[in-house]
């Protein structure tokens, strides 16, 4: 029976390719590959008999060792790794069996297979982060010349290029690509050093075995460990995925806000036959952005658990083990789901340019106050004298519900300093985009440079 309490398990969230990485049989296959790779590496340098390693590897990767059989054995031993080793031994000739799992301990398999899962998860996640950066950069360029309301504290502050919103997000996603590249050497760790990290049974050759296994598995050899890989590596992995999730939520919240009825500057695509509300037929809700916001909360909650796992007793204990079976798959699957969702949102986002322009004038021109102040200062008016005049006339115009430009044209403090033509130019929004065009162009170039290997 599939329980509805775990939407990951019942297929509501998570792509097929990411789910496969964390499937039960795939995890077993990873660990069997480690067993085989360790054996052939050991045989190459004389740790175990020369003809044994290849035979162990062939059996381990034959596909004949199943989760079902391992579960049967685990029911007796109450030890999942021991059951896997026993299941592998069953498929091997008697002369091979003594050398299976030689010099290894359970966490050599567990931790190294975790790294293999993270390796393959990042191979899915990183290109999607890169794609997201490119889509956002493209949007930034597309909307670069549209003047829009810039809001601080939820209030109209000044004029912004609408494309600058997307440029900010694009730059963040490009930084995530950089971070992923940087953390790989720290988190994708191969460990084959045995019970307490000394390589005791393999002796002086243990580091060479680990180096060879690492190379074959496309991982990095551990510099030093106890029985386990230091858990701050896992904390960094989950933290980076949560950072990606937070950026995606940042985008989602802006879309949700801009889709408010009162603002209406953007909208998620509403496909034919879609229902916005079971009760209100006319509603078009930003449900996909809300989904991203919701899943991001779960993502962030995983960080605390990984930090709690860093301090373990002595050379190790099991207080981290059970929760990592949740945290690593959950974080990977959810960030992949969020990237898929946000890619669709941005690719199909409806931008209402007319509403963007209309919103500039909701305050009857008071959004231009910054530029009126600047014009007076350039005419030699002391800043705070100018500030008080700009504010006084703005508040009066608001009380009277009159256009700010008209109030300025009828006030002596301004007429003595500014001509009517100068005032008209101040109230032209296209003139107030500052360096937006250059900023967006620079971001676009940086994004393309950062993600070029994914294009």
From the candidates 153, 278, 314, 416, give the one annotated as an active-site residue. Answer: 153
Question: Cα–Cα distance between 24 and 67 in angstroms, integer?
Answer: 7
Question: Could you give phi then psi for residue 157, rounded to 5 degrees?
Answer: -110, -60
Question: Could you give phi then psi for residue 248, rounded to 5 degrees?
Answer: -65, -40
DSSP per-residue letters across 44-80? HTTSS-TTHHHHHHHHHTSS---HHHHHHHHHHHS-H
277 is catalytic: yes
- How far CA 200 is from CA of 100, 163, 214, 423, in Å, comes to 16, 60, 19, 82
Query: Dihedral angle at the C-alpha atoms of 137, 138, 141, 143, nearest 10 degrees?
Result: -110
Contact 305, 323 (CB under 8 A): yes
Question: Cα–Cα distance between 187 and 238 in angstroms, integer?
Answer: 10
Question: Cα–Cα distance between 389 and 413 in angstroms, integer?
Answer: 7
Question: Cα–Cα distance between 232 and 281 in angstroms, integer?
Answer: 50
158 is catalytic: no
Contact 295, 339 (CB under 8 A): no
Q: Which residues contact 358 (CB under 8 A, 6 or more apart)?
A: none
From the candidates 277, 301, 319, 347, give the one annotated as an active-site residue. Answer: 277
Catalytic residue numbers read 153, 277
């Amino acid at each position: 029976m599939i329980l509805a309490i775990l939407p990951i398990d019942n297929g509501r969230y998570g792509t097929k390719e990411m789910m496969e990485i964390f499937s039960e049989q795939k995890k077993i296959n990873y660990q069997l590959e480690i067993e085989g790779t360790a054996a052939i590496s050991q045989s190459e340098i004389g740790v175990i008999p020369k003809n044994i390693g290849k035979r162990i590897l062939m059996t381990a990767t034959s596909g004949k060792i199943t989760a079902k059989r391992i579960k049967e054995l685990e029911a007796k031993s109450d030890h999942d790794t021991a059951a896997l080793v026993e299941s592998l031994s069953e498929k091997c000739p008697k002369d091979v069996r003594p050398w299976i799992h030689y010099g290894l301990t359970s966490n050599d398999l567990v931790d190294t297979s975790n790294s293999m899962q993270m390796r393959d998860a990042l191979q899915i996640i990183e290109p999607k982060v890169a794609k997201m950066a490119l889509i956002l950069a493209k949007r930034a360029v597309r909307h670069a010349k549209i003047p829009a309301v810039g809001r601080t504290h939820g209030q109209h502050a000044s004029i912004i290029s609408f494309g600058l919103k997307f440029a900010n997000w694009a730059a963040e996603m490009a930084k995530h690509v950089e971070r992923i590249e940087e953390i790989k050497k720290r988190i994708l760790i191969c460990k084959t050093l045995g019970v307490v990290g000394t390589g005791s049974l393999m002796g002086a050759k243990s580091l060479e075995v680990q180096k060879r296994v690492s190379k074959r598995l496309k991982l990095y050899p551990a510099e030093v460990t106890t029985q386990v890989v230091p858990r701050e590596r896992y904390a960094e992995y989950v933290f980076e995925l949560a950072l990606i999730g937070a950026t995606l939520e940042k985008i989602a919240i802006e879309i949700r806000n801009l889709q408010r009825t009162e603002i209406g500057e953007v909208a998620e695509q509403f496909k034919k036959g879609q229902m916005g509300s079971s009760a209100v037929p006319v509603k078009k809700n930003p449900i996909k952005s809300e989904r991203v916001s919701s899943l991001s909360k779960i993502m962030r909650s995983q960080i605390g658990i990984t930090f709690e796992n860093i301090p373990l007793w002595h050379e190790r204990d099991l207080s981290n083990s059970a929760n990592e079976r949740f945290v690593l798959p959950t974080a990977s699957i959810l960030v992949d789901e969020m990237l898929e969702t946000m890619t669709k949102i941005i690719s199909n986002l409806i931008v209402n340019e007319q509403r963007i322009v209309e919103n500039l004038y909701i305050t009857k021109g008071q959004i231009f106050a910054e530029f009126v102040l600047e014009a007076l200062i350039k005419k030699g008016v002391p800043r705070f004298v100018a500030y008080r005049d700009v504010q006084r006339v703005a508040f009066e115009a608001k009380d009277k519900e009159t256009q700010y430009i008209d109030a300025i044209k009828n006030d002596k403090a301004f007429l003595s300093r500014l001509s009517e033509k100068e005032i008209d130019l101040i109230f032209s929004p296209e003139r107030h985009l500052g360096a937006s065009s250059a900023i967006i162009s620079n971001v676009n170039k940086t994004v393309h440079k950062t993600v070029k290997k994914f294009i």
